């Protein structure tokens, strides 16, 4: 099924130094804001500082919230753009800033898999959200907001992996209707046909998990699924279908390379269909993108890794009620519809799908059938850095797939049935 565009680390010492420097800058920025602007509630009302990747969609929502609550609440955005920070870098940047335990950061977004990492800085939300408010949220989104039975954060939007195709290139190759349905079909493509995110960071885990989880669905045991998936991605590079350069790519690096080198197919996310930064990088090429689901296997089993972002309120905020009001606003019908229309972010509320045309409902039915979450384990965010390092070493042939599989099996509980 094709998804049409709508109208509408391995951490080197240099990168580590940059991360520490960036964290210090963020902490300093927040720490030295005038206290009255942060915690005061005078004529200007309460100001809440909110850290996120501030896309056009985010800024539009913030602008309208501030207009609605003018004189009472103002959301002040702190931009942590995907164009400058990978998910791993953003995770460490936020963690270093929050350790200072000041009250200068009120709301921040976290990857849906980070809940356990940030729980110690989170305001518990059970007393603010219950009953009807929670019933309206999709279980695929809400289940990632709980830890040990406690509501730690609230979802903002979901995202899911997919393939992006350059229609102009496929037309020139006489393959206008190409849709890669199976991993076997992808592996048989000509040299230089495919790009994915192969750097040692969480994006590599998402690529890996697309295939691994499909093998589990198909009945493979964990060890076999692990080994075959490692072999597949290693051989995708060895055969030249994916260039060796993918080993250095995060999300943006892979997209820019794909545009610059006219790669016909690359792995991306549902929200990339409306990514303004990507569109600005290469407007004419961006206009040629179409999207399709992640491949499966000839036996019919397929899966795609869920992504998305949750909103967490700092336990140090002096204004929890106002921060909760902003989260409620994000979950309102009109805003969930807008973030889909503007940013192609997948709504997290049932009402967000109420007015969609039938063809888009069909797309989401297929997407939700395929969606899988990464392993739910309390220490996952600490172990994932080791996981992606091992996968990366297999891809660059410093480890054999057998050795990599043995190490990975010791690190993480990969399926619910493992102890």
pLDDT digits (tens, 9 = 90+) for 290-299: 999 999 988 7
Residues 299 and 316 in one domain: no
Residues 180 and 288 in one domain: yes
- Answer positive or negative: Cα dihedral of 234, 239, 241, 245: positive
pLDDT at 30 over 90: no
Q: How confident is the model at residue 32 (pLDDT cuts 50, 70, 90)?
A: very low
Lowest model confidence (mean pLDDT) among 15-29, 175-189, 366-380, 405-419: 15-29
CA atoms of 317 and 334, how far apart (whole Å):
27
DSSP for 98-160? HTT--SS--EEEEETT-HHHHGGGBPP-TTTS-THHHHTB-HHHHGGGEETTEE--EEEEEEE
Which DSSP letter does residue 351 get? G
pLDDT digits (tens, 9 = 90+) for 217-274: 999 999 999 999 999 999 999 999 999 999 999 999 999 999 999 999 999 999 998 9
- CB contact at 8 A, 151 and 143: no
Residues 140 and 97 in one domain: yes
Is residue 418 one of the residues assigned to a domain?
no
Provide the domain count of the chain.
2
CA atoms of 198 and 394, how far apart (whole Å):
11
CA atoms of 323 and 327, how far apart (whole Å):
7
pLDDT at 24 over 60: no
The pTM of this model reads 0.87
CA dihedral 29, 30, 35, 41 (to 10 degrees): 130
CB atoms within 10 A of CB 105: 27
Q: Which of 266, 292, 289, 263 is nearest to 181 (CA)?
A: 292
Is residue 126 one of the residues assigned to a domain?
yes
Q: Is 310 helix (H, G, I), strand (E, B) or coil?
A: strand
Q: Is 269 helix (H, G, I), strand (E, B) or coil?
A: strand
Residues 76 and 225 in one domain: no
Residues 77 and 212 in one domain: no
CA atoms of 359 and 244, how far apart (whole Å):
38
Is residue 1 one of the residues assigned to a domain?
no
CA atoms of 89 and 102, how far apart (whole Å):
21
Is residue 2 one of the residues assigned to a domain?
no
Q: How confident is the model at residue 101 (pLDDT cuts 50, 70, 90)?
A: confident
Residues 256 and 394 in one domain: yes
Share above pLDDT 70 across residues of the chain, in percent, rounded to a whole number: 88
Domain that holds residue 208: 162-305+376-411
Residues 59 and 127 in one domain: yes
CA dihedral 293, 341, 307, 117 (to 10 degrees): 180
Residues 142 and 203 in one domain: no
Is residue 246 one of the residues assigned to a domain?
yes
Residues 169 and 42 in one domain: no
Residues 256 and 391 in one domain: yes
Task: Output the domain CATH number for residue 182.
Answer: 3.40.190.10
């Amino acid at each position: 099924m094709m998804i049409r565009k709508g109208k509408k680390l391995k951490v080197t010492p240099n990168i580590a130094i940059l991360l520490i420097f960036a964290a210090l800058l963020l902490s300093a920025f927040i720490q030295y804001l005038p206290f009255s602007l942060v915690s005061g509630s005078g004529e200007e009302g309460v100001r809440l500082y909110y850290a996120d990747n501030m896309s056009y969609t985010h800024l539009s929502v913030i602008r309208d919230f501030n207009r609605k609550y003018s004189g009472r609440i103002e959301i002040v955005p702190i931009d942590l753009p995907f164009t400058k920070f990978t998910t791993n870098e953003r995770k460490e940047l936020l963690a270093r800033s929050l350790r200072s335990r000041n009250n200068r950061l009120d709301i921040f977004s976290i990857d849906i898999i980070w809940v356990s990492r940030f729980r110690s800085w989170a305001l518990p939300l059970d007393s603010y959200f219950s009953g009807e408010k929670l019933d309206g949220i999709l279980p695929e989104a809400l289940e990632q907001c709980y830890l040990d039975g406690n509501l730690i954060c609230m979802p903002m939007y979901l995202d899911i992996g997919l393939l992006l195709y350059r229609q102009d290139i496929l037309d020139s190759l006489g393959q206008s209707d190409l849709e890669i349905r199976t991993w076997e079909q992808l592996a048989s493509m000509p040299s230089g046909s495919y790009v994915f995110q192969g750097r040692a960071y969480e994006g590599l885990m998402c690529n890996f998990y697309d295939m691994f989880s499909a093998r589990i669905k198909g009945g493979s045991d964990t060890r076999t699924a692990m080994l075959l998936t490692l072999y597949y991605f290693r051989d995708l590079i060895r055969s030249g279908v994916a260039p060796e350069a993918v080993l250095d790519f995060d999300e943006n690096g892979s997209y820019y390379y794909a545009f610059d080198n006219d790669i016909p197919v690359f792995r991306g996310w549902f929200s990339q269909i409306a990514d303004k930064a990507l569109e600005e990088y290469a407007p004419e090429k961006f206009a040629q993108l179409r999207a399709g689901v992640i491949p499966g296997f000839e036996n019919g089993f397929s899966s795609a890794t869920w992504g998305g972002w949750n909103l967490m309120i700092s336990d140090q905020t002096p204004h929890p009620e106002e921060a909760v009001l902003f989260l409620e606003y994000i979950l309102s019908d009109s805003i969930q519809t807008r973030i889909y229309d503007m940013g192609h972010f997948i709504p997290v509320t049932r009402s967000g799908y109420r007015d969609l045309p039938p063809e888009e409902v069909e797309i989401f039915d297929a997407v939700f059938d395929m969606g899988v979450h990464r392993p739910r384990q309390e220490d996952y965010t600490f172990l994932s850095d080791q996981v992606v390092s091992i996968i990366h070493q297999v891809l660059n042939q410093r480890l054999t797939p057998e050795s990599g599989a043995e190490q990975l099996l010791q690190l993480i509980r990969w399926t619910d049935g493992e102890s």
